[in-house]
Amino acid sequence: MLNDCSTLIIPVVNLYFNENYIGNEEIIFSKNEHYLAHSDNTEDKRVTDSSFIIPRADKTTKRYHIECEEQLDGSILVRMFEYDAQLALDDLIAQKYQKVRGGVEPIMGGKIIEYEAKTILNKGIEQGIEKGRLESAISTLNRYIRRKLPIDAQVLADIAEDNKLTVDKVRTIAKDNGISLSR
């Protein structure tokens, strides 16, 4: 809601929260989607209208949460409580993570801890990128063959450069796919 008219946030906060911001403060929008866990292991997705943080000059921050009620059924009180409880939980988890990370970084030399799922994901991304480069090189080589164009050293160099491969790799791709090269 307020993301679209961020220049009005400070006056609204000053008015409704009795603050005295001057108007040039940084506004850091928080995620507005939260999942509320239930005791039966199900989750409900909740979306806040606007949640944001305004850092203060003394390096502290203050979180604000603004909601609008479409139907005057009083449900806004329950929603505000649910959202704010989840925001507090998210903040607590983030603070604990930062403390753990702060304690681990000196020991680990500042390296980011890799975990198995992240490693697998990153490896999959790398493999997908590599496969795309190989398929692009094969496609280009086949296009030259279909058009009966010579595939000389310059063409190989261009294909290699375009696909971030070595010329030798392009030669191997051609050989593995039965594509003869001009000499």
**Number of folded domains in the chain?**
2
Q: Is there a single domain that holds both residue 8 and residue 62?
A: yes
Q: What is the pLDDT of residue 130?
A: 87
Q: 54 and 121: one domain?
A: no
Please give the DSSP secondary-structure letter assigned to residue 42: -
* Domain span holding position 172: 116-176
Q: 51 near 32, Cβ under 8 Å? A: yes
Residue 183 lies in a domain: no
Q: Is residue 182 part of a domain?
A: no
- Cα–Cα distance for residue pair 136/130, rounded to 1 Å: 10
Contact indicator for 65, 2 with CB cutoff of 8 Å: no
Q: Which residues contact 96 (CB under 8 A, 6 or more apart)?
A: none
Confidence class of residue 104 from pLDDT cuts 50, 70 and 90? very low
Strands (E), the chain: 28-29, 33-37, 43-47, 50-55, 61-66
pLDDT at 168: 93
Same domain, 103 and 120: no
Q: How many CA atoms lie within 13 A of 76 on its CB side?
A: 11
Q: Are residues 138 and 163 in the same domain?
A: yes
Residue 77 and residue 148 in one domain: no
Instruction: Answer yes or no: is 181 within a domain.
Output: no
Residues 23 and 61 both lie in one domain: yes
For residue 66, give the DSSP letter.
E
Q: What are the tens digits of pLDDT across the range 56-75?
A: 888 888 888 777 777 777 77
Residues 69 and 23 in one domain: yes
Residues 165 and 83 in one domain: no
Q: Which of 87, 108, 129 is the last residue of a domain?
A: 108
Q: pLDDT value at position 98? A: 61
Domain final residue, candidates 108, 133, 150: 108
Angle between helices 116-146 and 167-176 in degrees, nearest 10: 70
| pLDDT at position 36 over 70 | no
Q: Is position 33 within any domain?
A: yes
**Rounded CA separation 52/179 (Å):** 59
Q: What is the pLDDT of residues 4-33, one digit of tens each?
A: 667 788 888 888 888 888 888 888 887 777
Looking at 108, 135, 159, the residue that finishes a domain is: 108
The pTM of this model reads 0.44
Amino acid letter, residue 177: N
Q: What average pLDDT does this structure show over 30-42? A: 73
Nearest to 34 by CA among 65, 73, 68, 74: 65
Least confident of 8-17, 35-44, 170-179: 35-44
Cα–Cα distance, 22 to 10 (Å, whole number): 8
**Band of residue 99 on the pLDDT scale cut at 50, 70, 90:** low
Asked if residue 131 lies in contact with residue 164, where contact means CB atoms within 8 angstroms, the answer is no
- Rounded to whole angstroms, the Cα distance separating 83 from 66 reads 11
Are 152 and 182 in contact by the 8 Å Cβ rule? The answer is yes
